[in-house]
Each structure stands twice: as C-alpha cells, then as structure tokens.
Structure 1
C-alpha cells in the first residue's frame, strides 16, 4: 500500500511514483525544489494583484473568452476538497435580465508558492472559461498558454507532498 501523500501521484506510472518516494525518503525533496525553483517568489499577495495577473494572461491568450468578474484568493479552498482553484459561473438577476458572471478562486496556499505554480493554476482555471471538461482540448489550451504546463502540474504535486510531509503534527 502506498503512503497517503502519494495519492497526489496516483495517475502516474509506478516507476515515477517510486522515484518520487526515493526523493521523499532521502529527505532531498526540499533540496530538489530549491535547485529547480530557487527562492523565486512572486508579488501577487492580494486579490487585486491576482485579478490583474489573471487578466494579463487572459488578454494575451484568450481575448474572446467569456469575461471575468472576479478573481480572488480563497482561504476555504484546501486539499480536503481536492480543489486548488475553482472556476464558477454565478447567475444573478439584474433588472429584468439573468446575467452570468465568471469567477475564479485560487487557494491561498498559492501566495507562498513559486510564481510558476501560481501561473499554472491560473492558466488551468482560465482554460475552464472555454473548455469545462479535463479533456484533450482543455490540456492543449493549457499548454498553449503555458508550454511547461504538464511538468509544472507534476512539480506542484511533488510540492504538495513536500509540504504535507514537512508540516509538524501540531499545525
């Protein structure tokens, strides 16, 4: 039976999972992240900055996609819900019309991750404006916006394992 934290890698081949387990067991995962991402940090620390960050990507890659009314960090999103970001469409009645507004919520843990991970999750949620399902077209759109999308998604999964295995029990 595999350790619980390797559930993040459940869809990957056994050989990849074994390599990840060796990296974790050796205690070198933090060193690997430091080497791969350095001390990169980003300045996106509030909802206004996140909105601007997302809109910059949207304008560059998805000018004709549905408009976004809100992009914000969400403290309630967590790994228990298996959600790092959400793309929702809120229907509201305004006057005599029903209007739909698209909102993106990004888990607050992305305030503390390397910029590449924030970009990957924002790209993921933006892609849902055009393609709702996680299918081939969806991942092609993600790769169009972020060519290293698949590697970043894998690295993010390792990052989550690293964070989960290094958190002290009293937290």
Structure 2
C-alpha cells in the first residue's frame, strides 16, 4: 500500500479505503468531486481579511492578530499546515504581545473549505494553546465540519504528494 503519511493514526479500515482509492487512481477525482473549486484568497491581505472575518464572528474578545500571511517556509511534510506564534516583548515598562498566523503556501490554491479549516485551527490557538478537548470543541464551534475537513485536507495532501511523484517520474 502507498505510504499514507498524512493519515497516520487513522483506523485500518479507513487506510484500506484510501488505499483502494489510490490503487484505482480515483483519489484525485474523489477530492475534485467534493471540492471542485479553489478559493480566490491568494494575497496576504485577502488572507488577513478572511481570518479577521472569522475571528470577529467567533472570537471577538480574543487577543488581536498582528499578522496573517502565507508562508512558503512551512512544509506540510513536517505535519504543519499553518502556525500560530505568540511573541511577548518588553517595550519600556509595558509588555507587548503579538499574535501571528502563518498558513502554508500550498493552500494558496486549495479549496476554500481547507483554508477555512486551517484558519479556524490557528485561531483556536488564541484561546486554547494545547490540542485538547476544549481546543477541538472550539474548532467545531467555529466550523461544524472541522473533523471531516481535516480528514479531507489530509486526503488532498496525499493526492498532491502522489501527483508530485508522478511528475518527478515523467
């Protein structure tokens, strides 16, 4: 079976189903059928506005965001789809805090649902630092289909890897 590095931790039954889609060369069509179009949020400014819209709807009282941007240095191979950083600096007698969200550049051309799932995940870190029950409950509050979208994003990344391998071999 094809290496399913983005799906580690899932049940053997799920892995078998995904393996069958890959063996029958149907994974790409499956994803394209469920998520036919890419989003139009291609600039850092548009990503910031998109993120702030979600934040203002669900997390009005959370700390403000200093920066939201696509980052080509985030490698999904290391299981990072985005990152949330919190930096505290002392300026004079005051403590200044900055929150930044960075999204892997690979999602610049992904379906809107996947980008939303990643932004929701990173925004949830404003309230919950750890990946615990409260964290995932907050993610589901902001995006009810969060867990399905996370799984489908992993399928999408698996297919992207497969396509990259095929292009390399051609």
Q: TM-score, normalised by structure 2?
A: 0.94
Look up the match of 2:68.
71
How many aligned positions are there?
168
For each residue in 1:108-156, what CA deviation from the matched residue of structure 2 results, as whole angstroms up to 9, or x when unmatched? Answer: 1111100000000000000000001111111110000000000000000
Following superposition, the deviation at residue 96 of structure 1 comes to 3.1
Correspondence for 1:98 among 74, 95, 100: 95
In the alignment, which residue of structure 2 is the partner of 1:31? 29
Equivalent position of 1:22 in the other structure: 20
Deviation at 1:166, TM superposition (A): 1.0
Residue 160 (structure 1) shift: 0.5
Residue 170 of structure 1 deviates from its aligned partner by 6.7
SS in 2 for 1:68: coil
Which consecutive residues of structure 1, in runs of 5 or more, have no partner in the other structure?
Answer: none
User: Which residues of structure 2 form unaligned runs of 5+?
Assistant: none
In 2: Cα distance, 1:80 partner to 1:18 partner = 22
How big is the alpha-carbon RMSD for the aligned residues of Structure 1 and Structure 2?
1.5
Q: TM-score, normalised by structure 1?
A: 0.93
- After superposition, residues 1-171 of structure 1 pair within 5 angstroms as 3-4=2-3, 6-38=4-36, 40-167=37-164, 168-169=167-168
Instruction: Give the Cα separation in 2 of the matches to 1:170 and 1:27.
Output: 16
Q: Look up the SS of the partner of 2:98 in the other structure.
A: strand
